[in-house]
Amino acid sequence: MSTNRRFVIVGGGLAGAKIAEALRDRDFDGEITVLSEEDHLPYERPPLSKEFFAGKKTLPEFTVHDGEWFRDHHIDLRPGTTATAIDPAAHTVSLPDGSTISYDKLALATGSRSRRLDIPGSDAEGVHYVRTVDQAAALLRTLAADKKLVVIGAGWIGLEIAASARGFDVDVTVLEHAGLPLESTLGPEMGEVFAALHRQNGVDLRTGTDVSAISVDGDHAAGVTLSDGTVIPADAVLIAVGALPNTELASEAGIDVDNGVLVDAGLQSSDPDVVAVGDIAAAQHPILNARIRVEHWANALNQPETAADTMLGRPAEYVRMPYFFTDQYDLGMEYVGHAPHGGYSRVVTRGDVDKREFLAFWLDSANKVLAGMNVNIWDAGDAIKELVASSRPVDPERLADPEIPLAEVSA
């Protein structure tokens, strides 16, 4: 290596691996060290509740790079190594053995962790969370022998696991506090679509439901007790009630944090030598003119290029629209844009909602498209992105008419 600069990346998931890749692609020839809490090579997480859980992919198929790639690119990947503290003044990261590693630039890609449910029985055997490949594999092993799964939480992870489990002919009950699944993400209009989807596929979906305890037989979960005293038998329980960003390192180091590490459009934190990417990055979006933190694969995949430019002192802005996708039963969906709960005025659909072949658009009070979603229609993605990015008002009636091209729906 021709320079003596060292860039350290804390976090060995997709985002961490992609920052290392982007730095080498930009001809950075200094040292790169990646600290990874897990013992595995960096891998993508969406398959954990999709293809991996459905038995359609193995870990090597969604591993970002093999070990040889890291060696060939002179990247010091340290699996099973947790950063314990950051000293911005000294430009060092502390390790569990008491040693430190110095850095010139630091990237935080620490991701998020499952939100725990603090109720009686939540620490019993047979209670699962799915955030890592080992956790997903453990739940899979349980379902190979046992046939009653109760899922607490009807968000993306809970619903995707429920769909995959039904593919194994597992009896699945999903419990959700809100009135509909995904209500806080997609609103009630699309929440109804996913509720119908799961009920039609044999899931016992119970909404407006509060859980008071996990019943235990010996030391193993045996069911879930609802607030009204009802007990739902279970061989396994999945708790999927959201995630929390791993911001403690940043906060303890004095870096600005507020529901995520606060970063500008270039993903630079309040410390000029520290960037943050992925689940933890609460980024100022230059097009949406809002601070957004998105816990989805697309940010971990795409933000690293911007972060690498910023680390190298090059001007950069992350301008991609928020994006996520899901596959459940016969429903495949992509969503782009940002329509926060309570932040839109109406939802307009075009196509056949009952057959689950349609587009949906979230509009504000001025009829600007805040977000769009394509369900089992795969040739509309670019047009939806253009509508969201343009901020042009649309005619809702034209927007709802499948005979009118999306490029011609402006008011």
Of 209, 130, 149, nearest in space to 176 by CA: 209
Residue extent(s) of CATH 3.50.50.60 domains in the chain: 6-113+244-311, 116-241
What SS3 class is residue 43?
Answer: strand
What SS3 class is residue 306?
Answer: helix
Of 50, 42, 264, nearest in space to 136 by CA: 50
> Rounded distance, CA 262 to CA 247, Å?
10
Tell me: domain 116-241, CATH 3.50.50.60, correct? Answer: yes
Q: What is the model's pLDDT at position 146?
A: 65
To which residue do tokens 């009636």 refer?
397
Average pLDDT over residues 297-310: 96
Q: What is the model's pLDDT at position 1?
A: 42
Average pLDDT over residues 295-322: 96
DSSP letters for 80-126: T----EEETTTTEEE-TTS-EEE-SEEEE---EEEPP--STTTTSBT
DSSP letters for 233-294: E-SEEEE---EEE--HHHHHTT--BSSSEEE-TT-B-SSTTEEE-GGGEEEEETTTTEEE--
Q: In this structure, are residues 164 and 193 in contact, taking their beta carbons and an 8 Å threshold? A: no
> Rounded distance, CA 15 to CA 13, Å?
6
Instruction: Specify the CATH number of the domain 330-408.
Output: 3.30.390.30
Residue 369's CB is within 10 A of a number of other CB atoms, namely 27
Q: From residue 141, how far is each of 71, 130, 133, 168, 211 by CA, in Å?
A: 33, 13, 12, 12, 25
Instruction: Specify the CATH number of the domain 6-113+244-311.
Output: 3.50.50.60
Q: What confidence category does residue 276 fall into, taking pLDDT thresholds of 50, 70 and 90?
A: very high
2 pLDDT above the threshold of 50 = no
Question: pLDDT tens, 32-79?
Answer: 999 999 999 999 999 999 999 888 999 999 999 999 999 999 999 999
> Rounded distance, CA 174 to CA 205, Å?
5
403 pLDDT above the threshold of 80 = yes
Q: In this structure, are residues 350 and 369 in contact, taking their beta carbons and an 8 Å threshold? A: no
Q: What is the model's pLDDT at position 3?
A: 63
Average pLDDT over residues 16-44: 97
- When the pLDDT of each residue in the chain is averaged and rounded to a whole number, the result is 95
Whole-model pTM: value is 0.94
Q: What is the model's pLDDT at position 332?
A: 96
340 pLDDT above the threshold of 90 = no
> Rounded distance, CA 32 to CA 18, Å?
12
Average pLDDT over residues 360-370: 97
Sheet containing strand 92-94, strands side by side:
85-87, 92-94, 100-102
Ramachandran quadrant class, 345 (left: phi over 0; alpha: psi -120 to 50; beta: rest)? alpha
Residue extent(s) of CATH 3.30.390.30 domains in the chain: 330-408
Average pLDDT over residues 179-205: 96
